[in-house]
Structure 1
Amino acid sequence: MWMKPGAGTTLSTKFVPPTKRNALVQRPELMARFLSARDLRLQLVCAPAGYGKTSVLAQAFARLAEDGHKVCWVSLDEGDQDLSRFILYLVDAIRQTGVRFGQGLSTLLGSGVSVPGDTLKTLLLNELAGLDQEVHIFLDDYHLVLGPDIREVIAALMLSPMRTLHFLIASRTPNELPVSRLRALGQIHEVEIADLMFTESEVSEFVGTVRGTPLSKTQVTRLRDETEGWAASLQMAGIALRGIGDVDTFLNGFTGAHKSIGDFLSDEVLRRQSPELQEFLIATSILRKFNSGLCDAVMETHGSRAMIDEVERLNLFLFSLDTEHHWYRYHHLFSDFLRRRLNERFPHLVVGYHRRASRWLADHRFVTDAIDHSFQANDLDRAGELLDSSCSDLFAAGQTTTLVSMSSRLPESLRERLPRLQLELAWSSELSWKFADATIAIDRVQAVLDEWPADSPAKSSQERAFVETKLSHRRMMLALLSDDMQQAEKLSVGWLQAARTTDPFMCASAGSAVMASRREQFSCEGVMTSARMLHDRFIEGGAFYGVVFHQCIVGATFLARGDIQHAQEAYERALQMAVELHGEHSALYNMPALMFAELYYERNQINQAEELLAQRDITSQLGFVDNLIAGFVTRGRLLRLRGRVADAETLLAEGSWLAEQYGFARMRVILLHERIQLLLAAGRGKEAHALFRDSPLTATAGQTPPADGATTTDAVLALMSARLGIEAGEERGSMALLRSWYAFARGRHCHRMAIHAGILLAKATARWGDRRVAQRVMAECLALGEAGGFVRSFVDEGAECRELLIELDRSSPLQGSAKTHRYLESLLVAMGHTVPAGAAEENPVPCRAMNQETLSQREIQILELGARGLQNPDIASALFLSESTVKWYWQRIFDKLDTRRRPDAIKRARQMQWIV
């Protein structure tokens, strides 16, 4: 959620095709097929190990590049299981082609924000949809991709309508690629075992190059028959034939089809090398990739560079992973064999090799590889220590899959003693609303702290202070996200008063927690100043993701005060940041969108509310309970408005169930109130009373008068009780209850709740028979509602509210300006009452007066650039935005200016003198 930047490293070796210093043989026929199929969506090279898939793909890469095509390469390995890391590789690889692409996504993935998988998939698709040049994407060793989310993304890209994307993939298996569908579409070129087998002419060239001298035609035929054109076997045979005069005798004993690769390597390849080179090969086989420094560390020597050069000179299954010939890896078959030899003959050396590798890799910031080598050495304490020290960076880089996977390899007893790791696991659980898991992790950290002696030299005071500060922050955020607002206020205020850190992200999130928790306890003072200050702190800490959450809290607080104008501005800021970070179709965008829809509904802008909610997942488990409440309540009321009462009942019941699962008491109470209002409006009073009576939430409803510490949940329970009391003819008791809450909410300047309580109080008073007092209370509610442009709070209260408003309209002059009378009459129009022609506007309360403040500064900039003739890609480049973000801004401009074409929007902006 509100993550600040974390460190992350992308190896340049991922983006360079593995090569050999001496190219062995060209495959012109295969290359011709690759080139002729270059316009297809997928070219798949699928075969078992040792058939030269990587070499063939590397040749295709070079040929396409030579012909001027945009090509990029990603080498995959066992560690590439995090979707965020995979997408970062893909984005960085494409950007290296020079194509203008993915600036926003690359920034997001490198910013330390943990982004949900569905959001990442949507963002990537949106970014790729904006590509204006064809790109050929090479993925090597795709069979190593185990994560289903990565395979799902690749499949989606393969089947998308984007014509600019072309994939060339090498894999041992199809690995859930949509092969059948691409065949049906005619969008796949498949290269299989039979295609990769060497012809006799290629065998002759290949073995002649490796051996140094050619074979006769007969010998070539025999070797081709024995190996069936298998590249790995041919290379081993060529190495073994070096210096052998009697080739026929060797071939008589070589039966590649029957001898295992391991035996052959042992008998004919490895034994022909010097003892020093054999030792080097065996020792370094434990390394997934290596350079001379790492090899020196593993072998405790200084001669590895010369050894690597010798291995490369001899063509001993070595691939270079960069153009500088700094990083290398062995052929997978060769490294498998060497590791078997190491474990069989030198098992006592294995642990030492892995430990030394782990130390070097950790020192050079290759932490995940270092942790893996510690596991290989069975040094679990070391693995845990490394994971504990690096978990924050892993989480911030979005590598939660790696983090969880590695932590699961540790014994639970050890995992529980790693406080930093537990703090990140707690954070991950909080963000995904796994509150029980978060609580367990937090308790484990506290247990570790309780066991630390205060004067322990092993645990510095700085380390203890760091853990305690972060633990307090996690507790605070757990209370906030689980909607325990009274506890959230207590913890956040205490955290800020302790002043243990100046970290801008943690300080800003604590300040936002104070604002949110106090709002639900009828304290909304100082929101304007604190909102601006906290916004700046999030920006200072680079926590742009947190800005979205913060502005949602700000908007909800302004709405509680009855200030819809400033609420809208806060939501707009949240939406703009969300679209720049994740796009318009993301879970992050959903959060402020649901709350904005609630605002639209309140202003009776029904079409806008429905449009904003269309195809939105209102159950998205991201953010606070506020967006869930807004989504369910607004969609339920829209369904009711359209006459779909049964659907509204079902929706609210589903929301109540969801709230119960997560323990969201406030949401349960609000949705119970909605269900009761729905039943009463349908004339089903008995069902409404039964629902209220049978709910465990209503045991003390209305029994406690408002006082310091009262919550909005208490207020809704009181309103619910009073509403049913009015329905049952118990107006007197309901009036007393409502009068106390109405005065309390007004006194705290929480005008939205005051309006709700006041309208009910006016209805109860009217039923009691005192219509003069009822009109006075309704007039007070009008004054509160006019300032914010409230409409549906009056309209949804039905006929009794309408009659009181009609009486006010017909009575002696109402206190207030002519504008107040227009507001009253516009409410009556919204309620279906006929007023004199021209007395009210067609739209009851316009969203805003048309002035320059309607548009944000960014929207003005886009209009100015558009007026100068710049197209979306150029505007995106000028403003450092993604093209999809620019498109979103145009749509917002069209909506605000009530146009649907760019020229019309520019013309309107010029008429208003916003641009020249």
Structure 2
Amino acid sequence: MERGSQDPQIITTKLTIPPYYLKKIIPRNHVYMTMDAGLQRPLLLVTAPAGFGKTTVVSEWIRQHQLPAAWVSLDPSDNDIVRFWRYILTALSRFLPDLTDLIVAWQNEQDELSIENILTRFINSAIMLPEDILLVLDDYHTICTPAIHQSFTFLLEHLPPRLHIILITRRDPPLPLARLRVQGKLTEIRTQDLRFTNEETSIFLTQAMNLNLSPDDAIALRKHTEGWIAGLQLAALSLQGRSSYDSIAQFLKTFSGINRNILHYLTDEVLQQLPEHIQTFLLQTSILERLNASLCDAVTGNADGEMMLEWLEQNNLFLNALDNQQCWYRYDQLFLELLQHRLKQKYPELLPELHHRAATWYAQRGMDIDVIKHAILAEDLEQAVQLIEHHACHFIQRGEESLVRKWLSSLPEQLVASHPMLSLLQAYTAFLQAQMDVYEQALTRATQLWQEDKQHRYMLSRVYDLRARVALYCGDGPQTIDYARQALDFIDEEHSSPFYCSTMLHLGAGHLLQGKLVQATHYLTESYRLGQKYGYTTVALAAAVYHGLLQKIQGNLRTAIQTFQQICGEAQAIVTWPVIAAHVYLADIYREWNDISNAQEHMQQAQLLSLQTSNEGHIAAERYLVMARLAWLQEEREQAMTFLVQAEHSSQRFGSNPTFLARVAELRMHFSLAQRDLNAAQQWQTQYAPPLTDEMFLYERENWLMAQARLLIAQEQGGQAIQLLEPAYQQAHNQGRSQSELALLLLLTLAYHIEGNTQYTLQKLEQALLLGEAGGYMRSFVDEGAVMIALLTELYSRYQRHAAAETTHSSPGYIYTLLSSVSTETQPPRWLISQENDDEMIDKLSEREYMVLGLIAEGLSNQEIAQKLVVTVSTIKTHLNNIYAKLHVHTRLQAVTRAYDLGVLRRSEVDTEPLIPPRSAERL
């Protein structure tokens, strides 16, 4: 069987422990002892240069001990993270039957799962292993994708106790080896351990290679090769046929050790002593990474492939069997490279024909990736172009942009430039890599070619849709809308339904950037509807993200959080930016609700997912911005500033983004003034702040205006700050942008306070509280510092004093929640709630919810509560959500506080400690 039965892209021979290829295996007892000890640790690292017998020693050790092992032979084509993990899961599925369903689900594009979910489910499944299992990854050095290394680190850090990993590699992988050494979790076998000893060399040369050498000659050869096994084998092959003492002595005299020149010399010596037809077979089949008899026959044009492979194996000519049935083979990599070099020198004119034959063989079996590779090398560019144009979008949708980029880079630049679709693909892959010069040149070419082609002018919709996406990534709302409308001019129903869906998305997002929420809602809803209807999952998720962001802008945080949670629940097998974005925005909302634990959890999820994709897009800048806010709350001041710099840098990857720069500037000003560094804030404002103009983008102007207003307030120039803030507040109010309204109202509160205007100070603060309570805002208030806390305290005291005589616009209970997050001195407003309301609220809670609430008050975690009640953690989270909804709160602290206020829970006389240590107003 040439391919996996379930996935045509899985080569099953890569999952087979390689059989040994020598008639006599040399015992490596000292190495086996080290490996035996390594069974007590999670990771065994076998690392040495090529030709040191790494694969042989590991496979023979496994055979001798009859150890259950899952083997994966890696190669450069496995640098796609999805392909990498599919091979591993397939290899392990025979030990973990539960993985079979997971693999099937992953192969189904309608039921896609994230790498994180895959690893989590795999780890949880592997916990139940009844015996120790080895996972062996051979040739790990061929993996160079950072996202793979990061995800593999995640597995190592959560490795089940009965699963042990062996990495066979030519160099140290970028994994946390130092930490693993300190933790005692790593066993290492290195070059020095694998060098043949004098005894092993003698056995190898005399018994395995059947040479008639004296012990002194064997020791001399071992000294020259420094125990390098491949060098010894090459030398032995050259010595075969030399029977006279003088001939052997001359060879040993001229043999000077391990270097490229010697390797070429020995290979020539070996090849020259082989029959001509064997040399020809070796050279012609060297174009193949893997070979079997049928494929060899197709490439050579002969019918002796099976016989030739058997002869090569019997004569130990660097041929490695890849399966126990001895159907598939591969040449040793060094030998393969030398054969290819010799082929180019000797028969350069034959290369295109050989690759053409290979492409034909792969095409007959539907192995399109291999067809494209050999078609390019065969210079059959017409076939290659047709296949790339047909399959590229599919591979891009699967997250394999690197494969498409590799194909394009293999084609002549003139050919790419003459095909508009290839130019569009080049532009798209360059854009994803933030290579904006290449992007612009390629897209300009595609535009010109399609403008000249009346039959395919509809393809211009792809061009303008991509331009709209880039403009969106740069925060340019008007330009996004303009390009999207131009895309609509070329869209037809027959060819462009996915691009119509995408264009609706860009129109909605563009209007969102301009604060036109009604129009944004219309287009985003349409994009989501079409995406769901036609299966354009990524576009549908992107529309959902922007819709959640719209809800957040409107101040509807409860609704927004449901939207983002739904997106996370639909996590994809190919990690896409909408899923990362959903976690980032969830982290920001939980931060606003002062639920730092949940905020950090979602931020960690976003960071993990970002490591698994090269297509994080513009959300990376947003991620760094939220990380800066979280770091600041944890008093990690320098780290917060570092994240701001990273956010600023990331936002410029796709071009100038003045809107995002203004957001960074406003937060930087906030941080600087919170540290009472007025001089630094003034210098920064003077050096970087642009003049405020009506030509600025909406959020660009709004954020620079707030930054300037903050500085004016700090300089006790409240009047000037008010002149800036009042018109901006009115605009935000008219557009229904409650999030901006709240931020501007809080600054107006501080500005009027500086001016000594008590009436307007309290009026603006009450307006802010009314907006804030609707969305459950907390950090927006308390992060404004000691003055805001003092004003809230004064307002709360007024409510307490005049509660019986006055009706207030905002809830004293809400103000109490804000104050209790930074101080324990505030007394709860028990007078607000009658006994009748107490009884009504108690009736709303179920018996189990009441129990969960009581355990929360005792300080138990979700995991501890689940164990105590003998349920799952997800069940506890469901109870928590119900409790939050019934008590109209958003965090555990708020729930307990509210329950005490209502009398649902009763404080004991000794229970006076807060659940969370307070932070004083001065520290804020």
Contact persistence 1:78–1:144 (CA under 8 A): yes
User: Is contact 2:355–2:377 with CA below 8 Å preserved after alignment?
Assistant: yes
Q: Which range moved further: 535-544 or 467-476?
A: 535-544
User: TM-score under structure 2 normalisation?
Assistant: 0.69
CA gap 1:539/1:281 in 2 versus in 1, 3 angstroms: same
RMSD, matched Cα: 6.0
Go from structure 1 to structure 2 and tell me whether the alpha carbon gap of 1:590 and 1:319 turns closer, same or farther (over 3 Å shift).
Answer: closer
Q: 1:471 to 1:767 in 2, by over 3 A?
A: same
**Structure-2 residue corresponding to 1:519:** 512
Identify which of 552, 563, 568 aligns with 1:559: 552
The answer to whether the 8 Å contact 2:577/2:619 transfers is no
Distance 1:502 1:694 in 2: 51
Change (3 A) 1:331 1:358: same
Matches within 5 A, 1:311-710: 318-332=319-333, 335=336, 339=340, 342-343=343-344, 345-362=346-363, 364-373=365-374, 376-377=377-378, 387=388, 389-431=390-432, 433=434, 435=436, 437-450=438-451, 452-454=452-454, 461=456, 465=458, 467-492=459-484, 495=487, 498=491, 500=493, 509-525=502-518, 549-577=542-570, 591-605=581-595, 628=621, 632=625, 635-636=628-629, 639=632, 659=651, 663-676=656-669, 692=685, 695-700=688-693
Question: CA 1:177–1:647 in structure 2 vs 1: closer, same or farther (change >3 Å)?
Answer: closer
Letter aligned with residue 668 of structure 1: L
8 Å Cα contact 1:53-1:170 kept in structure 2: yes
The one-letter code matched in structure 1 to 2:274 is V
2:737 is matched with 750
Greater relative contact order structure (CA < 8 Å, 6+ sep) = 1
Distance 1:806 1:344, change over 3 A: closer
User: Equivalents in 1 of 2:175, 2:810: separation in Å?
Assistant: 64
Amino acid of the structure 1 residue aligned with 2:69: V
> What is the aligned partner in structure 1 of residue 135 from structure 2?
137
1: CA distance, partners of 2:501 / 2:699? 24
Distance 1:289-1:602 versus aligned 2 partners, 3 A rule: closer
Name the structure 2 match of 1:93.
Answer: 91
Q: 1:24 maps to what in 2?
A: 23
Q: CA deviation at 1:11?
A: 1.4
**What's the counterpart of residue 285 of structure 2?**
284
Query: In 2, are the aligned partners of 1:504 and 1:538 still within 8 Å (CA)?
Result: no
- Aligned residues of 2:19 and 2:59 also touching (Cα < 8 A): yes
Which runs of 5 or more structure 1 residues have no equivalent in the other structure?
Answer: 1-6, 209-214, 242-246, 456-460, 856-861, 873-886, 901-910
- Indicate how the Cα distance of structure 1 residues 686 and 500 shifts in structure 2: closer, same or farther if over 3 A, else same: farther
Which deviates further from its counterpart, 422-431 or 375-384? 375-384
DSSP-derived class of the 1:194 partner? coil
Contact 1:46 1:192 in 2 (8 A): no
1:265 to 238, 252, 270: 270
Worse overlay, 420-429 or 682-691? 682-691
Deviations 1:814-834 (A, max 9, x none): 997898454466567679795
Distance 1:195 1:148, change over 3 A: farther
CA shift at 1:9, angstroms? 1.6
- Work out whether residues 579 and 888 of structure 1, in 8 Å CA contact, stay in contact via their aligned partners in 2: no
CA distance in 2, matches of 1:530, 1:392: 25
Tell me the number of residue pairs that the alignment of Structure 1 and Structure 2 aligns: 826
Alignment correspondent of 2:68: 70
8 Å CA contact retained: 2:669, 2:710: no
Amino acid at match of 1:188: E
Cα 1:100–1:420 change in 2 (3 A) is farther
1:93/1:473 CA distance change after superposition, 3 Å: farther
- Superposition deviation, residue 89 in structure 1: 2.9
Distance in 2 between the 1:760 and 1:344 partners?
75
SS of the aligned residue for 1:752 comes to: helix
Partner SS for 1:136: strand
Distance 2:338 2:706 in 1: 75
User: Alpha carbons of 1:127 and 1:733: their partners in 2 closer, same or farther (altered >3 Å)?
Assistant: same
Question: What are the Cα deviations for residues 612-655 of structure 1, in whole angstroms up to 9, with x where unaligned?
Answer: 6689879979757677458637845984x788889877865775
Q: Please give the per-residue CA displacement for 1:452-487, whole angstroms capped at 9, x wherever unaligned.
A: 5335xxxxx4xx64x534333322221222222222
CA 1:828–1:437: 2 relative to 1, 3 Å: same
Q: Is the 8 A contact 1:595 1:631 kept in 2?
A: no
Q: How far is 1:39 from its partner?
A: 0.9
8 Å contact kept, 1:140–1:170 = yes
**Equivalents in 2 of 1:236, 1:547: separation in Å?**
62
* 8 Å CA contact 2:322, 2:330 repeated in 1: yes
Query: In structure 1, what residue type is equivalent to 2:514?
Result: Q
Structure 1 residue 415, shift from structure 2 partner:
4.0
Contact 1:625 / 1:664 at 8 angstroms: preserved in 2?
Answer: no
Question: In the TM superposition, what is the alpha-carbon distance from 1:557 to its structure 2 partner?
Answer: 1.2
Q: Please say if residues 706 and 725 of structure 2, whose CA atoms lie closer than 8 Å, have aligned partners that are also in contact.
A: yes
Q: Is the 8 A contact 1:74 1:139 kept in 2?
A: yes
Contact (CA 8 Å) 1:293, 1:304: kept in 2 or not?
yes
* Deviation readout 1:216-275 (Å, 9 max, x if unpaired): xx789899789869689779989998xxxxx9957875677468533543454325xxx5
Q: Is the 8 A contact 1:290 1:329 kept in 2?
A: yes
The equivalent of 1:194 in structure 2 is: 196
* Letter of the 1:25 counterpart: K
How far apart, in 2, do the equivalents of 1:536 and 1:46 lie?
A: 53
Separation in structure 1 between the aligned mates of residue 181 and residue 645 of structure 2, nearest angstrom: 46
Residues in 2 aligned to 1:152 and 1:759: alpha-carbon distance in whole angstroms:
42
Distance in 1 of aligned mates of 2:181 and 2:742: 63
Paired residue secondary structure (1:483): coil
The separation in 2 between residues aligned to 1:335 and 1:688, in whole angstroms, is: 63
Deviations 1:874-916 (A, max 9, x none): xxxxxxxxxxxxx89978988998999xxxxxxxxxx99xxxx
Moved more, 45-54 or 596-605: 45-54
Deviation at 1:289, TM superposition (A): 1.8
Give 5+ residue unaligned stretches, structure 2.
1-6, 256-264, 834-840, 853-861, 885-890, 893-903, 906-924
Q: Determine if contact 2:624/2:643 at 8 Å carries over to the other structure.
A: no
Q: What is residue 858 of structure 1 aligned with on the other side?
A: none
Following superposition, the deviation at residue 728 of structure 1 comes to: 8.1
SS of the equivalent of 2:467 reads helix
Counterpart CA distance in 2 for 1:803 and 1:23 is 87
> Displacement of 1:765 after TM fit?
7.2
How far has the Cα of 1:566 moved from its partner? 0.5
Percent identity over the alignment is 22
CA distance, structure 1, for counterparts of residue 47 and residue 801 of structure 2 = 83
Structure 1 distance, partners of 2:622, 2:302, is 65
- Shift of the alpha carbon at 1:601? 4.3
1:272-328 per-position Cα deviation (integer Å, ceiling 9, x unaligned): xxx5x6644443233222234433432345664565566667776544433454433
Q: Per-residue deviation at 1:188?
A: 3.1
Provide the TM-score with structure 1 as the length reference: 0.70
Letter of the 1:752 counterpart:
Q
